[in-house]
Structure 1
Amino acid sequence: MAPQIVFVTGNENKLKEVKMILSPSEGEEEKFTLINQNIDLDEMQGADLEFIALSKCKQAVAELPKGQPVFVEDTALCFDEFNGLPGAYIKWFVKSMGVDKIVQMLAGFSNKSAQAVTTIAYADSEGQFHTFQGITRGKIVNPRGPQTFGWDCIFQPDEGSGVTYAEMPKSEKNNISQRGRAFAKFKQFLYAPK
């Protein structure tokens, strides 16, 4: 039986997306089973996205049985005009303000450019930590598409056909999104011959 890897998340949409990205390619043998656990981790403060993800992963390791492979994923939305803010705090901005007010934050500025960044921190069964990061450039736009997944409806990637993440089919989004890119690196690492 394939070993289990724990993904620390309580977000069902995120779990579905990650399972899709990490599933074996055609003809590839399944090397692991992905399960999730909703562990309440401290939200680290800071601008260093790798530090935040590693800190969360270390907390998760302490909560799980010794030797249990585990990973956390942290996603940031960084506005160029605000020198990278809201960054790692975007989840809390969306929760407390909503996407319409986030768009309004940039109303007085011509620069709507942003980058979406996903950082994965993984602890293997030996207790070694590894990080993987994906970045997608784009711009902040008025909400378009379903408002069911964070800030997807206000981020229009530079690549693609001029639509927001929320307007894209999942397979198209996964090919160009910061999460898709970070997890592609992670998948390559997990499926590499050991």
Structure 2
Amino acid sequence: MSAPDVVFVTGNANKLKEVKMILASESSKINLINEPLDLEEIQDVDLQSIALAKCKQASKLLGPGRPVFVEDTALCFDSFNGLPGAYIKWFVKSMGLAGIVQMLSGFENKGAEAITTLTYTDGEGHFHTFQGVTHGTIVTSRGPTDFGWDSIFQPDESHGQTYAEMDKAAKNAISHRGRAFAEFKAFIATEFK
């Protein structure tokens, strides 16, 4: 029996590449397909609500019976009580990385949490949510700037490197996305035996 198709909805090529790397060990259990659907994102501070709404929308667009998952990533500043959170993508687009670093210049605490929330549906109306969190510090940009805010986030566990400076395998081992997908991989192992 061939592996079932599971659709990952994202238009972000870097995110797709990273997820394929993280899920490589599960390639015998699922056939990962990408659909770059343009989904509406509800405005909310509850990351699970955002991911669930996106997954429901994707499932409706793709049709019944198709397993699908979406993920949403947030960057939450300790000094801002969790903001910008899910809005980080728009902050990066409108302010740039230097502007985001500057936002924290008046605060002693530069701590932040990177959070990925992944929601999966089996296509039969059952939804499952997985979340990964990595704590770190917002720093002046170091390393390549081609993947979101990776160059300004220095995880506590990275030995002083930003995500952008890290080897991809090392990053995936401690990243918010890697942790969320570790939970998803454990679920896949039981779901698709």
Q: TM-score, normalised by structure 2?
A: 0.96
1:49-68 alignment to 2 at 5 Å? 49-68=47-66
- What residue in structure 2 maps to residue 97 of structure 1? 95
* Consecutive unaligned residues in structure 1, runs of 5 or more: none
> Take 1:88 and 1:97, find their aligned partners in 2: how far apart are those partners?
15
1:1-194 alignment to 2 at 5 Å? 1-24=2-25, 30-192=28-190
Q: Which amino acid aligns with 1:73?
A: E
- 1:125 CA drift (Å): 3.2
> Take 1:157 and 1:135, find their aligned partners in 2: how far apart are those partners?
10
Identity %: 67
- 1:65 CA drift (Å): 2.1
Provide, for residues 13-45 of structure 1, a one-character-per-residue CA deviation record: whole Å limited to 9, x for no partner.
1101101111126xxx70111011111111111
* Consecutive unaligned residues in structure 2, runs of 5 or more: none
Q: How many positions carry a matched residue from both structures?
A: 191
* Runs of 4+ that moved beyond 2 A: none
> Take 1:52 and 1:125, find their aligned partners in 2: how far apart are those partners?
18
- For the Cα contact (< 8 Å) 2:64–2:124, is it kept in 1? no
The root-mean-square deviation of aligned C-alpha atoms, in Å, is: 1.1
> Take 1:175 and 1:79, find their aligned partners in 2: how far apart are those partners?
22
Provide, for residues 72-130 of structure 1, a one-character-per-residue CA deviation record: whole Å limited to 9, x for no partner.
00000000000000000001111111100000000011110000000000001322000
Classify the secondary structure of the residue corresponding to 2:109: coil
